[in-house]
A = this chain, B = another copy of it.
């Protein structure tokens, strides 16, 4: 068994990792760290873990690096920038959940950071060129030998998987792609503020950060590195009364003469052999992927206008976060990509 440490273990990202690692055949949890809950048992923070995982949460200062094979940073933005050095020195591979290591240049990071209202100066810029973006469906080869992976953002992963076959096949003719995103509330994390209290979210849907969401930078990076480049994304996110789930509906112009059957073939070819992407001809819903690491994608050509519509759904806490990270770790550690992740959705 390989041994994992989770830093930032008591947020939803850390919890997602714990739940998957408890059933993982080749990876075990060695340490859980989190400043906020240091000293408590993890099962005091999450009572449903009693008897399954009762490790005491440690403070980040008390990390014991010996015997650790892989580290997951489920920490807030900028926390990993200082934590990373000792792991890197000891050659322990790291998968980071924040935006800290999703970019290979400090310039791209600065754009991300500004969108998010953060200090735009990166604290470990020398490490950025060696990082790999955590989207295994596209970067599996680089991930295999990576030491630092910046796990993709939840909305970003859903958009990228939906758009990649279209943009890389060269069929998209519009420079701007419209992405209309819908997310459950858990995407805001366990400690989000008053705006996410139950009465504010229940029986409500609203847009936010229209055109300015922080995941834009990484999506444009990822879709512009293959095939025709120069695409811009106009992304409007919406928050929905769901715990989990992201559905993105993307709209774009494509070359004339392509019907839905032709597009389906492009998508199926692109994702052949990718265990977590399912191309479908029926209307997808987030309930189809809840609790699973799957991304379900429906591309279709609107007959009246000739435009391409792509609907993609994921569970933001699994394929959008912890599941994607375990899939990435499986690749880094030489395991089967699906180890610990081979379960259908949880329904109803």
A interface residues with partner B (beta carbon < 8 Å): 12, 15, 19, 22-23, 46-53, 175-176, 178, 180, 182, 185-186, 190-192, 194, 196-208, 210-211, 216, 232, 234, 236, 238, 240-245, 247, 249, 251, 278, 280, 282-292, 296, 298, 300, 302-305, 307, 309, 311, 313, 343-348
B302 touches A210 (CB 8 A): yes
| A304 in contact with B203 given A19-B344, A47-B282, A197-B190 (CB within 8 Å) | no
A198 touches B240 (CB 8 A): no
Could you name 11 residue pairs across A and B whose Cβ atoms are closer than 8 Å? A47-B284, A48-B344, A180-B180, A185-B197, A206-B283, A206-B285, A207-B247, A207-B284, A210-B309, A211-B304, A211-B309
Chain B residues with CB under 8 Å of A245's CB are 203-205
Which partner residue on chain B sits nearest A50 by CB separation?
Answer: B278
Interface pairs A-B: 3 shortest CB-CB: A206-B285, A48-B345, A204-B287
Interface hub of A185, A198, A282, A343 (most chain B Cβ within 10 A): A198
Chain B residues with CB under 8 Å of A291's CB are 291, 346
Which partner residue on chain B sits nearest A280 by CB separation?
Answer: B47
State how many copies of this chain the complex holds.
4
- A298 CA / B236 CA spacing, docked (Å): 13
B22 touches A203 (CB 8 A): no
Interface hub of A22, A202, A304 (most chain B Cβ within 10 A): A202
Chain B residues with CB under 8 Å of A23's CB are 343
- A52 CA / B293 CA spacing, docked (Å): 13
Chain B residues with CB under 8 Å of A49's CB are 344
B240 touches A241 (CB 8 A): yes
Chain B residues with CB under 8 Å of A242's CB are 202-205, 241
A283 touches B182 (CB 8 A): no
Which partner residue on chain B sits nearest A43 by CB separation?
Answer: B344
